[in-house]
Structure 1
Amino acid sequence: MKSMEDNELVPVAMQIILHAGDARVKADEALEFAKNADFNSAYASLADSKADIIQAHQSQTKVIQDETRGVTHEPNLLFTHAQDTLMTIASEIRFARRLVELYELILQNGEENK
């Protein structure tokens, strides 16, 4: 079995954290847009957020695929943190999308009742 050096995981972990962090910022922006009834911008920010989280996920997937090919590595705290960050923010994005949809529904129902 080939071994991957710990330091090879560091840039991968940083890419995951970077893209996941960008995704979180864009999901937060989407919620602000929705709060201000700017749903076109909210959905655009959610789309950007999804693109960023996909990039983060692809970085993680490469490491997992390497493992299936027999490339091993020592446990790495930064990579574990990156995976946790990715999973957490992916969940936040799903909830942000639902909240934007709810903001939109509430606003539509409020307009109908006027």
Structure 2
Amino acid sequence: MQIIANVGIAKSNAVIAMSEARKYDFDKAKTLIKEAHKAMIVAENAHMEIVVQEAQGVQHEFKVLFMHAEDQMLTCQTLMIVAEEMIAMYKKMKILEEK
């Protein structure tokens, strides 16, 4: 659940960051993306603990919930990349509008 909860925080922050960038509030967008990255680190560390345990021979029963957590984590990682690109795009749009 730690993975899902933190990925949810990261995803929400990334989406809100794009919205703030669209309003040209780049400081808020930057803060939200930083918070998204912090939450993703927590999720990725929780995920890595499970992967390391399996590599060390610990047998985990396959759970659909873990598969869902991984799916959410990978989707959010992609969304965060897109969000950062969109923020950069909005910054360039603002510069062009000001000319």
TM-score by length of 1: 0.84
User: Which of 99, 106, 113 matches 2:86?
Assistant: 99
Identity, in percent, stands at 28
Distance 2:31 2:61 in 1: 39
Matched to 2:13, the amino acid is K
Distance 2:85 2:37 in 1: 14
Give how far 1:29 is off. Answer: 1.3
Q: Given the alignment of the two structures, is residue 40 of structure 1 paired with residue 27 of structure 2, yes or no?
A: yes
- Supply the RMSD in Å over aligned alpha carbons: 0.7
Contiguous gaps of at least 5 residues in structure 2: none
Runs ≥4 residues deviating over 2 A: none
Contiguous gaps of at least 5 residues in structure 1: 1-13
Task: Give 1:30's aligned residue.
Answer: 17
TM-score by length of 2: 0.96
Distance 2:56 2:63 in 1: 19
